[in-house]
Amino acid sequence: MSNSNDQSVYYVPHDGWYPVVLAAGLFFMVFGLGDALNAMKSGGDPGWVMSALGFSLFAVVLYFWFAKVIAENHAGLNNAQVKRSYVWGMGWFIFSEVMFFAAFFGALFYTRVLVVSWLGGDGGKAMTGDYLWPEFENTWPVMDNPDNAVFTPPEQSIQLKSFGSLFTYLPFWNTVILVASSFTVHWAHSAIKKGNRSGLVSWLALTVALGFLFVFLQGYEYWELYTHYGLTLDSGIYGSTFFILTGFHGFHVTLGAVILLVQLIRAIRGHFTATDQFGLEAGSWYWHFVDVVWICLFFLVYIV
């Protein structure tokens, strides 16, 4: 173990079981999820036992691992070099998430700007549309499919019809909620930097409530789409791109809300000071990230 007063070296913890069990949990979760999806596709019983077991292992390891890191920090073992590694680690994690969403936004761009245009005969690709899909019309969203025996076309799109109906448009209010939550988490962070613990708890509690409200409203939106719009994962390229982008973003919002909920519990228990609040700071970075992704998603999927 290194001297925690030496700011140029790391504190090296003892051997632990966390990485091995975490890797096993991730394996069972992903393998079980893939097996369940294949079973659903073939009409069999998905059986979520393996994926549930993997997720449980994953959650348990994260709980004990982060609890250990927090205890080490309270014991004064995290010197400046260790804290610097935390900052870089969180930065690279968020960068990987940026690349993750960039791939899906790239797929949306490729579909809308290139594929739909080529099938419609634009860009010198007239023969492409004539050969593959002569009846195709160059419009987005694609409300019809080349084989409606395989795909079920949606009855209507979720895109905003006119700006006059903006204030009755659920995705707009979800945008307001998420943008507002970015302000509240910033105010929570500012409060603890000033030593205002009551302000930290109040603003952070409001942020968590707004985050879970967003998730609830998105779930309600999905129910509306499936029951009244006919927009599902079986609706062809429009349904696929819509649910992949909004679904993965919804998962990230849920994850971010859980992270901030943990920070709220820590704040209530007296954690964080004006000079030591990286857990909260890292959670707020992640929350701002999902907020920016949603703003891009709102304009590119719902508006344009």
CATH assignment at residue 207:
1.20.120.80
- Pair (109, 6) in one structural domain: no
| Percent of the chain topping pLDDT 90 | 57
- Torsion angle (degrees, nearest 10) of CA 129, 131, 135, 137: -10
Same domain, 8 and 137: no
Same domain, 33 and 89: no
**Which residues span the domain enclosing 222?**
79-303
88 with 73, same domain: the answer is no
Last residue of some domain: 78, 101, 136? 78
pLDDT grade for 283, boundaries at 50, 70 and 90: very high
Same domain, yes or no, for 122 and 257?
yes
Burial class (CB in 10 A: 0-12, 13-18, 19+), 133: middle
In this structure, the number of other CB atoms found within 10 A of the CB of residue 154 comes to: 23
Q: What is the pLDDT of residue 2?
A: 44
Instruction: Assign residue 63 the CATH number of its domain.
Output: 1.10.287
Residues 6+ apart with CB under 8 A from 252: 97, 290, 293
pLDDT of residue 99: 97
Same domain, 164 and 228: yes
Residues 131 and 25 in one domain: no
pLDDT of residue 140: 87
pTM listed for this prediction: 0.87
Per DSSP, 301 falls in state I
Last residue of one domain, picked from the residues 78, 110, 138? 78
Mean local confidence (pLDDT), 37-64: 87
Residue-level pLDDT at 110: 92
Helix crossing, 18-41 with 49-74: angle to 10°?
150
Number of domains comprising the chain: 2
Mark which of 58, 78, 98 sits at the end of a domain. Answer: 78
Q: What is the pLDDT of residues 77-95, one digit of tens each?
A: 888 888 888 999 999 999 9
Length of the chain: 304
Give the list of residues 6+ apart from residue 231 with CB closer than 8 angstroms, or none.
154, 155, 156, 157, 158, 225, 238, 239, 242
133 and 49 belong to one structural domain: no
**Per-residue confidence (pLDDT) for residue 298, from 0 to 100:** 95
Of 95-104, 128-137, 162-171, 250-259, where does mean pLDDT reach its minimum? 128-137
Task: Find the mean pLDDT for residues 129-155.
Answer: 76
DSSP code for 17: S
Domain match, 229 and 120 both: yes
Average the pLDDT over 97-105 and give the result.
96
180 plus 35 within the same structural domain: no
* Average confidence score pLDDT of the chain: 88
